[in-house]
Amino acid sequence: MKTIHDYLDSLFLSVPITPETKRAKEDLLAIMEDHYLELIHQGKSEHEAIGAVISEFGSVDELLQELNVSKEEPIDDWSDAITEDDAFDYWGTVRHFAFSLSLGIGFCIAAFAALMLFVSFYAELFGVMVMILFIAIGVGFIISSSLHFSGARKQLDDRPIKRDAKREAAQQLANYEKSFRIGLVLGIGACIFSIAPVLLSELIYYSVEFGIALFFLTVAVGVFFIIYVSIIRAGFAKLASETYFIRDEDHPGDRATRHKYGESAGRVTFFRTVYWPVILVVYMLWSFMFHAWAYSWVIFVIGGVLEDYFIGQTKAKK
């Protein structure tokens, strides 16, 4: 349901706020929510229902014409907006990152499979060498793909997402739902099945080390599927649910912060800049002055609770 709320916010992002438009937005939200619940009752999955709702209620142009309201899209705010082409480029990068990261993690897990395989043939030294090689390959995939993906996300950071791009993202998310479920089932199934080779080593004539090697290899395959489909799905969901692209959820850009917190954006930015350094200083002073290292760490827990409260109150006021 949050996706529908966020998508409707994006539709009205450039619409002047008047009693008429606020009422129109509330009415449209009620219609969309009713249609969403109707589709859920018909057996649709959550993401299939969201995709269908957004596809059917993808434009507010006719509604605004009936209200005789013109859309205002300031050039300084929308000149760098994320288009459908940008979205497809981003999803291509997401797929490449998902494959490379999953493969890299798979190689790191498979490294232990290689070690145990050679141990079963009494070639421990060669097994260690192969294990180190596999880990080096896996870490190489992880680092290179992460750097490339980070650069792509940085280019999109704090840019508004056009309605067409959001609508396409919602449709892609709904279309990918089946593939996501299949990949998740295969991955979880492989992880569950991985224990079988170890258990069967007592019944079938092969060493326990060989069974452990098969265990790690099967886990590597399962983890690959789980991570791969999860990252791709998250790539679609990110553009479908956000109004501004946020690279780091803990540190959104200036425009995203203003959109989320309104007039309180400056206070939120200041709070996030100074809050945790102050907490750290208080922790160090308290610990040194009262020798309270055993329990002074509680200040970080209290600090997290207070931060959530402050941010929550700020959102509520907005």
Q: What is the pLDDT of residue 60?
A: 56
Specify the pLDDT at position 189. 95
Confidence of residue 86 (pLDDT cuts 50, 70, 90): very high
- HEC string of the chain equals CHHHHHHHHHHCCCCCCCHHHHHHHHHHHHHHHHHHHHHHHCCCCHHHHHHHHHHHCCCCHHHHHHCCCCCCCCHHHHCCCECHHHHHHHHHHHHHHHHHHHHHHHHHHHHHHHHHHHHHCCCHHHHHHHHHHHHHHHHHHHHHHHHHHHHHHHHHCCCEECHHHHHHHHHHHHHHHHHHHHHHHHHHHHHHHCCHHHHHCCCCCCCHHHHHHHHHHHHHHHHHHHHHHHHHHHHHHHHHHCCECCCCCCCCCHHHHHHHHHHHHHHHHHHHHHHHHHHHHHHHHHHHHHCCCCCCCHHHHHHHHHHHHHHHHHHHHC
Confidence band for 74, pLDDT divided at 50, 70 and 90: very low
Question: Is pLDDT at 283 greater than 50 in this prediction?
Answer: yes
Can you give the pLDDT at residue 69? 54
Q: Which of 55-64, 68-77, 143-152, 278-287 tops mean pLDDT?
A: 143-152
Domain ranges of the chain: 2-72, 80-162+171-247, 256-317
**pLDDT tens column, 233-257:** 999 988 887 888 888 776 777 777 7
Q: Tens of pLDDT along 164-176?
A: 888 888 889 888 9
